[in-house]
Amino acid sequence: MKAAVVPELGARLEIRDVPVPEPGPGQIVVQIETAGLCHTDIHAANGDWPVKPKMPLIPGHEGVGRVVAVGDGAEPLREEDRVALPWLGHACGQCRYCIKGEETYCIAPAYMGYTMDGSYAQFTLAYASHAVKVPDGVSSFDAAPLTCAGVTTYKALKAAHPQPNETVMVVGIGGLGHLGLQYANVFGCTSVAVDVEDEKLQLARDLGADHTIDARSGQAEQLESLGGVDIALVTVPSPAAMRAAHAALNPTGRLVLVGLPADNRLELPVFETVLRGISVMGSLVGNRNDLADCFDLHARGRTRVVAESRALEDVNECFAEVLAGRVPARLVFDMS
């Protein structure tokens, strides 16, 4: 089968012919129809983070397709079921975090397209327990970005307990942010979108942002005239953007960190954090119920996925496009 492979950290991806995987106990093989390109895949290929991915690696954790092979004990999934393969490839199900529904913080996780091979391939091996069925009302094309960009921003906002009278600022209107902005509206909040590209700010207005802010010019003044924000969801992998978002928060505000910069340090003022009762929190993707919620909201017309289709052969050019901020808002590899 055809797959895009990172041969070693920092190297260009190679399109290779590799063996079709076979399912072991509890596993399935999925014939991939669509595979979203998350900025995380670029971090993975570059080895940007303190914990490195397996090498060689097939990236991808927004894969959607049909089950074509089922291992022992992989029921109730069956051949022909259409499923999504999210970042959380497997969790132990036994630890205290799994038991309380916070399985993304499992003490023994497997990550799709990071610690196990992902969906930049014609077929992907997955654990049946952590594949999520895609309902009929959601196309495979739309399901791909929802599988990480959607669920991550939905869960991150939920973790900050948004109230309808609050203002949510979403920083970065890329793959994650364009959906995060829509969830802010779904939660009934006033939404503020921040980006550094004119096209992204226009996209935010098209998607229903109440306010847009160009971070290239006078972000602090523009936010002050809005009366500050209560929740800041920062999808941009930039400590500077995180500090600017912290400064924009009203008393009792929540800074939700989602973007994962290669520069793994963030300096924040303690005095303002304490005196204003600010919470600084991190959030990692979402659990299987969260993803099912995202599919359900989408099927009910509450969100719109903005994405363009690409061929897997163009994966290196696609990475460059994302890094240049030229993508409206997600790229999806069409594998069908």
Which residues of this protein are in contact with ligand NAD, per CB under 6 A?
Answer: 38-40, 43, 148-149, 152, 171-177, 194-197, 200, 215, 235-238, 241, 258-260, 283-285, 322, 325
Give the angle subtended at the CA of 211 by the CAs of 208 and 214, to the nearest 5°.
115
Q: Smallest distance from the beta carbon of 88 to ligand NAD, in angstroms?
A: 10
Q: Smallest distance from the beta carbon of 147 to ligand NAD, in angstroms?
A: 10
- Residue 153's binding partner among Zn ion, ligand NAD, none (Cβ under 5 to 8 angstroms by kind) is none
91 binds Zn ion (CB under 5 A): yes
Q: Which residue in 279, 272, 271 sits closest to 253, CA to CA? A: 279
Q: Which residue in 61, 54, 52 sits closest to 124, CA to CA? A: 61
Choose between 123 and 319: whose C-beta lies nearer to ligand NAD.
Answer: 319
Q: How far apart are the C-alpha atoms of 38 and 330, rounded to whole Å?
A: 8
Q: Smallest distance from the beta carbon of 261 to ligand NAD, in angstroms?
A: 7
Q: Which residue in the set 35, 58, 64, 148 belongs to the binding site for Zn ion (CB under 5 A)?
A: 148
Q: Smallest distance from the beta carbon of 283 to Zn ion, in angstroms?
A: 12
Choose between 21 and 239: whose C-beta lies nearer to ligand NAD.
Answer: 239
Q: How far apart are the C-alpha atoms of 218 and 26, rounded to whole Å?
A: 53
Q: Smallest distance from the beta carbon of 301 to Zn ion, in angstroms?
A: 24
* Strand (E) or helix (H) holding 152: helix 151-159
Strand 63-70 to 82-85 pairing: antiparallel
Q: How far apart are the C-alpha atoms of 41 and 176, rounded to whole Å?
A: 13
Q: Answer whether 214's CB lies under 8 Å from 196's CB.
A: yes
Choose between 83 and 285: whose C-beta lies nearer to ligand NAD.
Answer: 285
**What residue ranges bind Zn ion (CB under 5 A)?**
38, 40, 91-92, 95, 98, 106, 148
